Amino acid sequence: MDTPDRTSRRGSLRTTLRGLVLGAFACTAALIVLLGGTAVLSATGLLFDPHGYRTFAGILFAAILSPVALALWLLYRTMRRRSNDKRPHRIGRAPR
């Protein structure tokens, strides 16, 4: 009798965890875009950066965060594939 309740709890926990991983990926991707934009604006002279530290830091931090974002995305995709819904989630494919 405990099995249906435990299954629904496990499913909601997986859904919540999957949402947290997707949120972490979104924040990481937004941070990469902001750091890249800051580096580009600093390199072009639109932002005042006399020593070039902002350009260097933007490129360095974006390079460090890129593998993190990739790992979060791959984890999200793996969690999505292992969800209870076994149907493929592909656009343009006719349902079976």
Instruction: Please name the residues in contact with 36: beta carbons below 8 A apart, sequence gap of 6 or more.
Output: 58, 59, 62
Question: pTM score > 0.85 for this model?
Answer: no
Per residue in 8-54, pLDDT tens?
Answer: 777 788 889 999 999 999 999 999 999 999 999 988 889 888 888 88
Q: Which two tokens stand for residue 67?
A: 């593998």
Q: Which helix (H) or strand (E) holds 52?
A: none
